[in-house]
């Protein structure tokens, strides 16, 4: 019997590696004869850069940059050859910001630009930027400013930081952008396919989880639309509706429009480098999962990419989650999962349910209980 484990991180609780090993221990308790292969999984969000760096035997570099609210933070990124693997959440991630300070009206992607600039200074000529887990909604304005673009208002002054300020953009000056930055080959590893703006865009879909109130959403969306109009005129091509333009609060849009980045699903990139398709050839079951499974999972997140690849080879897939609503469970089963299962009691307070030891214990217990049913 061959079982593949490909779990993403349970954000705020355990890493992909920790979740995967917990699943494997649960499997071995029930089926000690099974061959269990664990893949560290990520889809562009938390942990993607480290996993990709490990898969290609790269090295980890660190530098001090600004976080999304301008505080100094030490961020890590990978280098392999002349390629940098950067995770924007290392600099401007939501988990770096205390809940009471989360506000996409003022958070910036400036630190992500500083990471890219540090990679350029280390001689990198290619960069993979992993999007996901952001605290931002500025359309990538901060990143562009860090890299040398001057984003000017109607009075010729630099716009400030954050989602609201992006809407004040009137003119772009790229005279300070270095040749090395201009010549970078950029790959965007995204975990979502959302456009930049509109009902399914960055603001309405993702800003609430970054601290935006309902009243803020139309203001943030309008600001992104005004910002995009100026960027589009300058770039000469419209990327506002491109899949992934709305990723990381619109950072995907800036990377596409002004850095000519090409988009790949982050999960596809990880699975390719891990040799997932070859592993599927004789597999009997795939177990995937992440911290929360819901409708957004179907928008290109890791578990659904795992599902699609496995289904194409008639290998059943089950998924576990830290949080799962019954309506979402029905939706996910309809999408093709053999089963989806929440590992925690919904009545359990979040601070207890998300404790790493609790998560690991619940993952193992869930697998031990459900594996005979999943293999039936």
Mean pLDDT in residue range 129-148: 96
Residues in contact with 247: Cβ distance below 8 Å, sequence separation at least 6, in sequence order: 44, 131, 132, 188, 190, 191, 192, 194, 202
The pLDDT value recorded for residue 45 is 76
Same structural domain for residues 146 and 257?
A: yes
Lowest mean pLDDT among 41-45, 117-121, 259-263: 41-45
Element (DSSP H or E) covering residue 362? helix 356-375
The pLDDT value recorded for residue 259 is 98
By three-state DSSP, how is residue 161 classified?
coil
Same structural domain for residues 173 and 295?
A: no
Same structural domain for residues 192 and 310?
A: no
Residue 295 domain-assigned (yes or no): yes
Q: Would you give the DSSP letter of residue 100?
A: G
Examine the fold and report which residue of 248, 266, 284 is the final residue of a domain before the chain moves on: 266
Residue 291 domain-assigned (yes or no): yes
- pLDDT category, 189, cuts 50, 70, 90? very high
Examine the fold and report which residue of 238, 266, 294 is the final residue of a domain before the chain moves on: 266
CATH of the domain at 151: 3.90.1510.10
The pLDDT value recorded for residue 301 is 82
Same structural domain for residues 202 and 333?
A: no
The pLDDT value recorded for residue 150 is 98
The pLDDT value recorded for residue 192 is 80
What is the pLDDT of the chain when averaged over all its residues? Answer: 95
Residues in the chain: 376
Mean pLDDT in residue range 233-237: 97
Same structural domain for residues 187 and 285?
A: no
Residue 43 domain-assigned (yes or no): no
CB 295 within 8 A of CB 16: no
The dihedral sign for the CA sequence 186, 73, 92, 363: positive
Mean pLDDT in residue range 17-42: 96
Residue 285 domain-assigned (yes or no): yes
Same structural domain for residues 288 and 141?
A: no
Question: What tokens appear for 281 in the block?
Answer: 């050839």
Residue 323 domain-assigned (yes or no): yes
Q: How far is CA 46 from the centre of its chain?
A: 6
Residues in contact with 369: Cβ distance below 8 Å, sequence separation at least 6, in sequence order: none
Residue 340 domain-assigned (yes or no): yes
N- to C-terminal Cα distance for the chain?
A: 13
Same structural domain for residues 150 and 110?
A: yes
CATH of the domain at 347: 3.40.50.10350
Which whole-number Å values give the CA distances from 26 to 79, 118, 363, 367, in the listed order? 35, 42, 8, 5
Mean pLDDT in residue range 135-160: 98
- pLDDT category, 142, cuts 50, 70, 90? very high
Question: What tokens appear for 120 in the block?
Answer: 């350029």
Same structural domain for residues 281 and 258?
A: no
Question: What tokens appear for 258 in the block?
Answer: 């002004």
Calculate what percentage of the chain has a pLDDT beyond 90.
Answer: 86
φ and ψ of 285, to 5 deg: -160, 145
Calculate what percentage of the chain has a pLDDT beyond 70.
Answer: 100
Between these two residues, 313 and 299, which has the higher pLDDT value? 313
pTM beyond cutoff 0.85: no
DSSP string, 119-140: HHHTT--EEEEE--SB---STT
Residue 335 domain-assigned (yes or no): yes
319, pLDDT greater than 90 = yes
374, pLDDT greater than 80 = yes
**Range of 140's domain?**
48-266
- pLDDT category, 108, cuts 50, 70, 90? very high
Same structural domain for residues 238 and 317?
A: no
The CB density around residue 368, as the number of other CB atoms within 10 Å, is 15
Residues in contact with 57: Cβ distance below 8 Å, sequence separation at least 6, in sequence order: 80
Of 217, 233, 208, 230, the C-alpha closest to 159 is 230
Q: Which of 39-48, 185-194, 236-245, 323-332 has the highest mean pLDDT?
A: 236-245
Same structural domain for residues 366 and 256?
A: no
Element (DSSP H or E) covering residue 320? strand 317-323
Examine the fold and report which residue of 243, 266, 289 is the final residue of a domain before the chain moves on: 266
Mean pLDDT in residue range 6-10: 93
In a 13 Å sphere around the CA of 63, the CA atoms on its Cβ side amount to 20
Same structural domain for residues 54 and 126?
A: yes
Same structural domain for residues 200 and 343?
A: no
Residue 247 domain-assigned (yes or no): yes
30, pLDDT greater than 80 = yes
The pLDDT value recorded for residue 337 is 97
46, pLDDT greater than 80 = no
Per-residue pLDDT reduced to its tens digit, 61-104? 999 999 999 999 999 999 999 999 999 999 999 999 999 999 99
Tell me the C-alpha distance between 233 and 263, whole Å.
21
CB 227 within 8 A of CB 141: yes
Q: Is 257 exposed, middle or buried (0-12, 13-18, 19+ CB in 10 A)?
A: buried
Tell me the C-alpha distance between 163 and 219, whole Å.
9
- Based on the structure, what is the number of domains in the chain? 2
Per-residue pLDDT reduced to its tens digit, 259-308? 999 998 888 999 999 999 999 999 999 999 999 998 878 877 889 999 99
């Amino acid at each position: 019997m061959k079982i593949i484990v490909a779990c993403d991180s349970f954000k705020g609780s355990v890493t992909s590696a920790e979740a995967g090993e917990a699943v494997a221990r649960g499997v071995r308790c029930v089926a000690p004869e099974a061959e269990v292969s664990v893949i560290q999984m990520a889809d562009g969000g938390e942990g993607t850069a480290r996993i990709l760096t490990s898969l290609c035997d790269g090295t980890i570099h660190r530098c001090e940059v600004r976080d999304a609210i301008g505080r100094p933070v030490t961020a890590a990124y990978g280098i392999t050859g002349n390629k940098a693997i950067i995770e924007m959440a290392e600099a401007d991630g939501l988990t770096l910001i205390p809940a009471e300070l989360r506000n996409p009206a003022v958070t910036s992607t400036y630190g992500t630009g500083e990471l890219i600039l540090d990679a350029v200074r280390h001689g990198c000529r290619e960069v993979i930027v992993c999007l996901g887990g952001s605290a931002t909604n500025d359309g990538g304005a901060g990143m562009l400013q860090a890299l040398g673009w001057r984003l000017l208002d109607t009075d010729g002054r630099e716009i400030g930081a954050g989602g609201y300020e992006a809407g004040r953009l009137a003119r772009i000056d790229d005279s300070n952008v270095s040749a090395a930055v201009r010549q970078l080959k950029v790959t965007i590893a995204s975990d979502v396919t959302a456009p930049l703006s509109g009902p399914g865009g960055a603001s309405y879909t993702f800003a609430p989880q970054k601290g935006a109130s309902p009243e803020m959403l139309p203001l943030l969306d309008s600001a992104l639309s005004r910002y995009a109009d100026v960027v589009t005129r300058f770039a000469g091509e419209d990327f506002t509706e491109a899949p992934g333009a709305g990723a990381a609060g619109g950072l995907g849009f800036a990377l596409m429009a002004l850095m000519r980045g090409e988009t790949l699903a982050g999960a596809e990139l990880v699975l390719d480098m891990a040799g997932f398709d070859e592993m599927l050839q004789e597999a009997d079951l795939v177990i995937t999962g992440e911290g929360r499974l819901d409708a957004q999972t179907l928008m290109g997140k890791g578990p659904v990419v795992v599902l699609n690849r496995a289904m194409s080879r008639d290998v059943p897939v089950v998924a576990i989650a830290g949080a799962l609503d019954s309506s979402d469970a029905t939706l996910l089963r309809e999408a093709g999962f053999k089963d989806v299962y929440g590992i925690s009691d919904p009545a359990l307070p979040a601070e207890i349910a998300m404790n790493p030891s609790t998560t690991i214990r619940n993952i193992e217990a869930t697998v031990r209980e459900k594996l005979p049913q999943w293999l039936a």
